[in-house]
Amino acid sequence: QQQVKQSPQSLIVQKGGISIINCAYENTAFDYFPWYQQFPGKGPALLIAIRPDVSEKKEGRFTISFNKSAKQFSLHIMDSQPGDSATYFCAAPGNTPLVFGKGTRLSVIA
C-alpha cells in the first residue's frame, strides 16, 4: 500500500508570508498528485493538482513543486491569508485511487 508522508503536522505563518507543506510518496505507478484543503466541519476540497510530466504548477497564490526523482512534491501558498487557515492534505495514487497524508493544520495569523 502506498505510503504518503506529509510534513509538518502544523504550521503557523504570519499574514502575507509563504506557507510551505511537503509530501513524500513511495510509488510512481500513476500520474496524478493532488492537494486537498479542508475547513472544520467540511469535506476536503480539491485545491490544486499536478501531473509528473511538469515540475511546477501555479494557480493564483497556490503552487505545487514536483520532484519526481526525489518522489516529493510540495505546496506553496504565497501571500498567506487568514482565510487560508485550514488543514491541507496531499494525496498520491496507490492500490486505491488515492492515499492521503495525515494532514497539515495551517494557521495564518494577522
Partner 1 sequence: EAGVAQSPRYKIIEKRQSVAFWCNPISGHATLYWYQQILGQGPKLLIQFQNNGVVDDSQLPKDRFSAERLKGVDSTLKIQPAKLEDSAVYLCASSLLPGEQFFGPGTRLTVL
Can you give the binding site for partner 1, defined by CB under 8 A?
4, 6, 32-34, 36, 41-46, 49, 89, 91, 93, 95-103
Please state the closest distance from residue 16 (CB atom) to partner 1, in A.
28
Closest CB to partner 1 among residues 60, 110: 60
Residues facing residue 56 across a β-bridge: 65
Closest CB to partner 1 among residues 15, 102: 102
Instruction: Give the integer Cα–Cα distance in Å for 29 and 95.
Output: 9
Instruction: Give the integer Cα–Cα distance in Å for 97 and 32.
Output: 10
Please state the closest distance from residue 18 (CB atom) to partner 1, in A.
23
**What does the block give as the cell for 17?**
508570508
